[in-house]
Amino acid sequence: MKRNEVDRSKLSPGMKQYMEIKDQYPNELLFFRLGDFYELFFEDGILCSRELELTLTGKSGGLEERIPMCGVPFHSVQPYIEKLVSKGYRIAICEQLEDPSTAKGMVKRGVVQVISKGTVVDYEMLKGYDNNYIGGVLDFTNLYTITYSDISTGSLYITEIPKDEDKLINTILNLNLKEVIFQKDTNEELINLLKNTYGLEVSISDEYLEDRYESLYKDIKEMRHILGIKHLLYYLVVRQLKELDHIDQVKIVYPDEYLEMDVHTVRNLELFETLRLKERTYSLIWLLDKAKTAMGSRCLKNWLSNPLKDKEQIIKRYNMIDTLRNEFITKEELTNELDSVYDLERLCGKAVCGNLNARDVLQIKKSLSVLPSIGEKISKLGFPYKLTDETKLYNLLEEAIYENPPIGLKEGYLIKDGYNSELDELKSIRSGGKEFIASLEEQERERTGIKTLKVGYTKVFGYYIEISKGQCDQVKDEFGYERRQTLVNCERFISPLLKEKEALVLNAEEKIIDLEYSLFLSIKEEIKKEIFNLKAIARDLAELDAIISLATCADEYSLVRPEILNERRVEIVDGRHPVVERVSKKEYVSNDCMMNEETNTLLITGPNMSGKSTFMRQLAVIIIMAQIGSFVPAKSAKLPIFDKIFTRIGASDDLVSGESTFMVEMMEAKNALINATSNSLILFDELGRGTATYDGMSLAQAILEYVNERIKCKTLFSTHYHELTALEKISGIKNVHVEAYEKDGNVTFLHKVKEGSVDKSYGIHVAKLAGMPEHLLKRANEILKYYEGSNKENPIIAETQVAFNFDEPTPVHSEVLDRLEEIDPLKCTPMDAMNLLYELKELSKK
């Protein structure tokens, strides 16, 4: 049964209400609150029963046929919402807007929030170390304006890029936007690419928010930026029903202020996830993230995404790391105190536009408790952070909230004794009532003489007096008992005194819950008054945590402070790749990387598996670490400031877009050649291998010459085309090679980079190490000798007719070998040896 096929005139009032609300949210899954359940009907019910593995039932809604339905309990809805949102569905939460017990007629209902991938607020659904950005894109004549926000932390940014769809896709992927809002006339191919290839949530909106949140853009002069803010805010406020009072500023991000890396570079260098498994473990951020808070982890990731180009800012971070390493006791104390700080940024977001509960408030209180001590240490270290005094808020939370409150806000036991006199009086009535019940049982036993009499309570019948069947005949009229319920083994009664006390106690219970809820909301308002101060504290603590994390890494991994040069020299002594060094089971071989002002290109030769790619990545990683303000893995390092890094490492077909290995190579190479400047770094790993040998070699040489002579940027170019090593005669190109040691047909990779070139690839040796069949390796050597010109007498053509047998030879049983295995030469006499020799000769004749 489909929703649009239903005769609405026949529907029950409740289902008519559902249909009216669903009409407003046709593209969302409507979680419709009915009592203690959220229910989904028609197509929503069928879809959710499948996606959430729930039982699909039916509901009579006034129609002859039952309406498809599934439901989940309201108190445990969070995991279901999380699962659906992670799969890309939007959720509309429809709540009861009035108390059903006091409502006249149909209970008023309405959607209170819409949840999608980019607008999740509850931090339980989010990765603590990652931002959850939603972005809006506006298309202007010569550029794109991208406005993006993480509403869980209350951050809002604007950036602009040239009007180029490839750059737009690259920026969206690098920002890791979870959801993007485009205008209606946006290119459909672009939208489909983002949705289908990269799995992004895409929405369409042309509206702009007016007359709200003007304070965010009142000081912004550029109209494009104002329109970008209004465009994103309309979607968040009107379409998603979000309160954004925790957003206090807009940061304009200028890409020229940061080291630029395209999405291929970020992936090839494995900054945030590994190439093979797409996991955070064994990435660079995994290695560097020693932060104690989720805020610190996000700050560190932001630094790694946007390495600095401002020398002064970089040196400030170096200085703070040096200070922390010298003041190591203070550093340890700060680390321990930060361990008590929760995710204040997201707690602020939850207070404004989420469901803040009492346990969240306790997390805020615990975070505030260590601020005075942290503030003293920051001041002692001379760091540029000022933490607002929040003693008043801390004292309020300490006085008000129980230490172990329930998750729900209407279950009672939220507010401490002594906080509110009216609440204390109600608690006294409740407590006294329960004591009265206990004493009443004793009194009634004495008065009636019925020793088995009990006083009990159920939610359905309230308080009662229970008497067993065998003693019911002892109940007399003068007791004043009124029969309430008959059970198999007993009768239950009520008395006037019990009724009176029951009303008093039960009313007190209800009043306590209502009053506690009201008091909690007032406490929440006090927290909201301090939101901007708390966010400023969170930002400072996040940066402090990130710096301490880098200082900890400097100690743990033996990192050194780099020297930032004004000239274009690279001098790295005993450089190491920090992740490879950390996870490798073998001893890591460090390498120098020396490029003076005149050297633009290192042309790297050497066998496969020797470490060429690691050496290239190592340089890029050291540069990135240096420009985020971190110490670097080397004995010493002197580096200039780089403006861009481009990489072409690895060969893999782009199966989704249908591009071949070679096309992907050429497109990535073109991107580097067009956009690189003399202050950039380019890493080309075996460029040209995706096509025929002479084609590839010709292109590789032409690209190498172009980069060296026209762009003049620092370049690492690895190749198996040994003919290219002759280019060293060109000014700016220098040959280096990775050493390998060959003996008796076996090769050992030394992983040491030396000056000069090699003219051998050791490809067959690598195949041998990989365990290729011996017969195949022998044949490969024969073919290699022919191509190298050492065996021209036996043309290779004649051999191509041979049928290969790639299976390993089957071992043949030999009696001679068996007999030899049995012989112990040390126990043989000369006569025994003569006899054994004769025996073996006879066996061999067989």
* Distance separating alpha carbons of residues 562 and 846, to the nearest angstrom: 75
Q: Environment class of residue 297 by beta-carbon count within 10 Å: exposed (0-12), middle (13-18) or buried (19+)?
A: buried
Q: Is pLDDT of 812 > 70? A: no
Average per-residue pLDDT for the chain? 89
Residue 465, pLDDT > 50, answer yes
Residue 366 to residue 369: CA distance in whole angstroms: 5
Alpha helix ranges (H) inside 557-641: 578-583, 612-627
Q: What is the mean pLDDT of residues 667-671?
A: 86
Measure CA 173 to chain center: 14
Residue 755, CA distances (Å) to 31, 444, 739 in order: 68, 103, 10
The 10 Å Cβ neighbour count of residue 43 is: 15
> How far are the Cα atoms of 28, 79, 131, 241 from residue 33, in angstroms, in the given order?
15, 17, 31, 18
The residues pairing with 632 across neighbouring beta strands, listed in sequence order, are: 560
Q: What is the signed CA dihedral for 507, 513, 517, 519, rounded to 10 degrees?
A: 70
pLDDT tens digits, one per residue of 272-282: 999 888 899 99
Closest by CA to 754, choosing from 737, 742, 734, 733, is: 737
Q: For residue 271, is pLDDT > 50?
A: yes
Percent of the chain with pLDDT over 70: 94
Please state the rounded mean pLDDT for residues 438-465.
84
d(CA 269, CA 616): 10
How does strand 201-204 pair with strand 714-718? unpaired
> Which range, of 377-381, 409-413, 634-638, averages the lowest pLDDT?
409-413
Confidence check: pLDDT of 502 > 60: yes
Q: Which residues pair with 801 in a beta bridge?
A: none
Confidence of residue 799 (pLDDT cuts 50, 70, 90): very low
Rounded to whole angstroms, the Cα distance separating 200 from 133 reads 11
What single-letter amino acid sits at 733?
I
User: For position 413, what pLDDT does the model report?
Assistant: 86
For residue 433, the model assigns a pLDDT of: 63
Residue 563, pLDDT score: 98
Secondary structure tally for the chain: helices H, strands E? 27, 27
359-363-366 Cα angle (round to 5): 130
Mean pLDDT throughout 452-473?
Answer: 84
> pLDDT value at position 654?
43
Q: Which of 173, 137, 129 is nearest to 153 (CA)?
A: 129
Provide the residue count of the chain. 846
- Are 115 and 53 in contact, with CB atoms under 8 Å apart? no
- Which pTM was predicted? 0.84
Arithmetic mean of pLDDT, 830-844: 80
What share of the chain in percent tops pLDDT 90?
A: 61
Over residues 827-832, the mean pLDDT reads 78
Lowest mean pLDDT among 272-281, 678-687, 831-840: 831-840
Here the tokens at position 719 are 């190749």
Is pLDDT of 4 > 50? yes
610 and 751 Cβ atoms separated by less than 8 Å: yes
For residues 436-450, average pLDDT: 84
* Residue 535 pLDDT greater than 80, yes or no: yes
Is the pLDDT assigned to residue 731 strictly greater than 90?
Answer: no
CA 741 to chain centre: 43
pLDDT (tens digit per residue) in 327-363 = 999 999 999 999 999 999 999 999 998 789 999 999 9
Query: When comparing pLDDT for 539 and 61, which is higher?
Result: 539
User: Is the pLDDT reported for residue 810 higher than 80?
Assistant: no
**pLDDT, tens only, 406-432:** 888 887 889 999 999 989 888 877 776
Residue 404: Cβ within 10 Å count: 9
161 DSSP β-pair partners = 144
386-392 average pLDDT score = 94
Does residue 805 have a pLDDT over 60? no
The answer to whether residue 619 scores a pLDDT higher than 70 is: yes
CB distance 288 to 299 below 8 Å: no
* Burial of 360 from C-beta contacts in 10 A (0-12 / 13-18 / 19+): buried
Distance CA 123, CA 347 (A): 8
Higher pLDDT, 139 or 121: 139
CA distance 487 to 26: 51
Tell me the mean pLDDT in the region 382-396.
95
Q: Could you report the per-residue pLDDT of 135-157, keeping only the tens digit for each?
A: 999 999 899 999 999 999 999 99
Q: At what angle do helices 344-353 and 531-556 cross, to 10 degrees?
A: 150
| The pLDDT of residue 787 | 64
**Three-state secondary-structure class, residue 654:** strand
Specify burial of residue 120 (Cβ count, 10 A radius: 0-12, 13-18, 19+).
buried
What is the rounded distance in angstroms from the CA atom of residue 793 to the CA atom of residue 676?
50
Of 170, 160, 205, 174, give the one whose Cα is nearest residue 190.
170
Task: List alpha helices for 114-247, DSSP H.
Answer: 165-175, 188-192, 223-234
Answer whether residue 784 shows pLDDT above 60. yes
Please give the single-letter amino acid code of residue 650.
G
Q: Between these two residues, 678 and 442, which has the higher pLDDT value?
A: 678
H runs (alpha helix) in 37-159 = 42-51, 78-86
Query: In the chain, what's the furthest Cα-to-Cα distance?
Result: 129
Q: What is the pLDDT of residues 176-228, one digit of tens each?
A: 999 999 999 999 999 999 998 888 999 999 999 998 999 999 999 999 999 99
The sheet that has 636-639: what strands, in order across it?
Answer: 563-564, 636-639, 570-575, 591-595
Instruction: Write the DSSP string, 295-306.
Output: HHHHHHHHHHHS
State the Cα–Cα distance between residues 545 and 75, nearest whole angstrom: 35
Other CB atoms within 10 A of residue 134 CB: 25
Residue with more model confidence, 124 or 374: 374
pLDDT digits (tens, 9 = 90+) for 304-326: 999 999 999 999 999 999 999 99
- Strands 57-59 vs 201-204: parallel, antiparallel or unpaired: unpaired
Contact (Cβ atoms closer than 8 angstroms) between residue 416 and residue 358: no
Structural contact between residues 255 and 261, judged by C-beta atoms closer than 8 angstroms: no
HSE-CB for 406 with a 13 A CA cutoff: 10
Backbone angles phi, psi at 40, to 5 degrees: -125, 140
**284-298, 431-445, 824-838, range with greatest mean pLDDT:** 284-298
**Higher pLDDT among residues 134 and 796, named by residue:** 134
pLDDT at residue 819, rounded to an integer: 78
The band of 372, judged by pLDDT with boundaries at 50, 70 and 90, is very high
* 296 within 8 A of 334, measured Cβ to Cβ: no
pLDDT digits (tens, 9 = 90+) for 510-524: 889 999 999 999 999
* Element spanning 439, H or E: helix 421-448
The strand ranges marked E within 697-774 are 714-718, 733-743, 746-755
Half-sphere exposure of 642 (CA within 13 A, CB side): 30
* Residues 6+ away with beta carbon under 8 Å from 391: 372
> Do the beta carbons of residue 149 and residue 230 sit within 8 Å?
no
Cα angle 148-151-157, degrees, rounded to a multiple of 5: 30
User: Which among 252, 546, 553 is positioned nearest to 383, based on CA atoms?
Assistant: 546
Cross-sheet strand order for the sheet of 155-162: 201-204, 177-182, 133-139, 143-150, 155-162, 251-253
- Angle (CA) 244-249-250 rounded to 5° is 100
